[in-house]
Amino acid sequence: MTWFMVAVVVVVAAAGLLRWRRPAWYWLTFGVILATLRVLVRYGSVMDACGLTVMPSRWRLALARVTNRPVPESRPPRILRLRPTRTGLVLRLKLRPGQDAFDVAAATDRLRHSFGMYGVTSREVRSGVVEVRMTGYDVLKRVQMPAKLDRAPMRVPVALREDGSVHYRDYRAVPHGLTLGATESGKSVYQRNLVAGLASHDVALVGIDCKQGVELFPLARRFSALADNPDTALELLEALVSHMEEVYQLIRTEQRISVAVPDAEIAADIWDLPEDIRPVPVVVLVDEVAELALFATKEEEKRRDRIITALVRLAQLGRAAGIYLEICGQRFGSELGKGITMLRAQLTGRTAHRVNDETSANMAFGDISPDAVLAAIQIPAETRGVAIAGDSTGGWHRIRAPHTSLRQAVNICNKHADRTPDLPALAPYRPAAAALPSARVPLSKTAPATA
């Protein structure tokens, strides 16, 4: 008996310690079983208390009356499926007549407390079916990406969402993106994750980093072209515009439309072209975009106008030529001059890290969702890397990218350096191999070799 007591105390102590120090492990060992039992046992009473039950239907009442049985109870939504995941539980519910997805969405906070979970979100899967995703612990505190991730061309897993699912940056669904955030909020780490994710894809990376190249130049071996000042950036962007025009010429020559060509085979973008002649897609990463739009002299103003014009042209026409923009900055509004709001309107994918004022958040989400604006302002300063990301359906999620160090990103880029395509139009901006060792030396002194 004493041994049994000792074993129980040890297990309880181990569970407590895990819960405190390693919530992810606690969830996988004890949490998932306890939470599943709690949900199944308390389901009826919690749904009743949260106002998610409906009165029995008329025919059930009539049947009870005819057969002289007690009056049937109110019924909660039917559980279609309960699926434990790495971070929580996913409950699929069939709503009763008279209920709607908004009822469940409005009760998520009450469900969170009642089931003792960390977070609860809900979404409508199809008419009458709602998926409730619950997380057992704060998954954004220490981001761990799942080992098994979906792989598709131009779709990169870049962060974890607060409901435990993976946030993908899908360039074919959302071609251009804008990432905003105050200084030290995690924009460059997010962009570094994107580069690390894209490194293993068949894609040309082009970088413009006006912070003297400190963020992108260490990753140079995977980049087909890089610029670290506005002058080079202008030449590079204009070269990209001519590359885009060449790609369109290629698509034109491949179209050869005649009555015999089936509709599905008419090429309108690079993905419709046969694989052997398809030009490689290009992702253009711009860090500290405001540097490109600021000017002090007349010459700089002319340069600025040409840069913004080139960016607007790439944003408007680039998608079908496989050119995708990923722009990062602290603010991106009309105070940066003409053309900026026009450019912003083309950047569909919005991500906002912590911002210090509502106007900055409005630059990302003002025209999309007022709730997202509020959520972006409320991100605490100490949780760097947490961001609000809009999704293609118009909704938004709280996300956090894993903390990939510069050293880890350099290793990934070097590993995939052989995938770096040569684009003839961008050849003059290809970082010279000779410059790389000097870029790596200070890095090994500053960044711990964690990978």
Ligand X SMILES: Nc1ncnc2c1ncn2[C@@H]1O[C@H](COP(=O)(O)OP(=O)(O)OP(=O)(O)O)[C@@H](O)[C@H]1O
Binding site for ligand X (CB under 6 A): 181, 183-189, 330, 384-385, 400-401, 403
- Return phi, psi of residue 130, to 5°: -120, 140
Listed ranges 96-104, 110-118, 187-195, 218-226: which one lies at the site for Mg ion (CB under 5 A): 187-195
**188 marked as binding residue:** yes
Listed ranges 7-15, 73-81, 188-196, 407-415: which one lies at the site for Mg ion (CB under 5 A): 188-196
Amino acid sitting at position 148: K
Nearest approach in angstroms of CB 142 to Mg ion is 22
The tokens describing 389, both together, are: 């990301």
Residue 351 binds Mg ion (CB under 5 A): no
Nearest approach in angstroms of CB 215 to Mg ion is 6
**182 marked as binding residue:** yes
**385 marked as binding residue:** no
Residue 188 binds Mg ion (CB under 5 A): yes
Nearest approach in angstroms of CB 352 to ligand X is 11
Whether residue 180 contacts residue 363, with contact meaning beta carbons closer than 8 Å, is answered with yes
User: Sheet of 386-390: strands edge to edge?
Assistant: 166-170, 155-161, 396-400, 386-390, 349-352, 177-180, 323-329, 282-287, 204-209, 223-227
Nearest approach in angstroms of CB 63 to ligand X is 58
Nearest approach in angstroms of CB 283 to Mg ion is 18
Nearest approach in angstroms of CB 339 to Mg ion is 23
Nearest approach in angstroms of CB 403 to ligand X is 4
Which of 367, 235, 349, 342 is CA-nearest to residue 292?
235
Distance from C-alpha of 284 to C-alpha of 389, rounded to nearest angstrom:
19
Closer CB to ligand X, residue 159 or residue 347? 159
Closer CB to Mg ion, residue 174 or residue 210? 210
**181 marked as binding residue:** yes
Closer CB to ligand X, residue 184 or residue 301? 184
Closer CB to ligand X, residue 181 or residue 281? 181
* Binding at 88: pick from Mg ion, ligand X, none (beta carbon under 5-8 Å per type): none
* Binding at 184: pick from ligand X, Mg ion, none (beta carbon under 5-8 Å per type): ligand X
Whether residue 226 contacts residue 207, with contact meaning beta carbons closer than 8 Å, is answered with yes
Nearest approach in angstroms of CB 424 to ligand X is 32
**57 marked as binding residue:** no
Distance from C-alpha of 378 to C-alpha of 178, rounded to nearest angstrom:
19
Residue partners of 43: CB distance under 8 A and separation at least 6: 76, 79
Closer CB to Mg ion, residue 77 or residue 329? 329
- Strand stretches in 177-305, DSSP E: 177-180, 204-209, 223-227, 282-287
* Binding at 185: pick from Mg ion, ligand X, none (beta carbon under 5-8 Å per type): ligand X
Closer CB to Mg ion, residue 162 or residue 288? 288
- Return phi, psi of residue 189, to 5°: -65, -40
Closer CB to ligand X, residue 417 or residue 447? 447
Closer CB to ligand X, residue 318 or residue 329? 329
* Binding at 403: pick from Mg ion, ligand X, none (beta carbon under 5-8 Å per type): ligand X
Distance from C-alpha of 181 to C-alpha of 332, rounded to nearest angstrom:
10
Give CA angle at 418 (438, 423), nearest 5°.
90
Angle in degrees, 0-180, between the axes of helices 298-317 and 230-255, rounded to the nearest 10: 30
* Binding at 330: pick from ligand X, Mg ion, none (beta carbon under 5-8 Å per type): ligand X
**390 marked as binding residue:** no
Distance from C-alpha of 328 to C-alpha of 188, rounded to nearest angstrom:
8
Total number of residues that touch Mg ion (CB under 5 A): 1
Give CA angle at 353 (352, 354), nearest 5°.
120
Question: Which residue is at the shortest CB distance from ligand X?
Answer: 385
Listed ranges 108-116, 182-190, 278-286, 435-443: which one lies at the site for Mg ion (CB under 5 A): 182-190
User: Sheet of 78-84: strands edge to edge?
Assistant: 78-84, 88-94, 129-135, 119-126
Which residues of this protein are in contact with Mg ion, per CB under 5 A?
188
Query: Can you say which residues are annotated as belonging to the binding site for ATP?
Result: 181-188
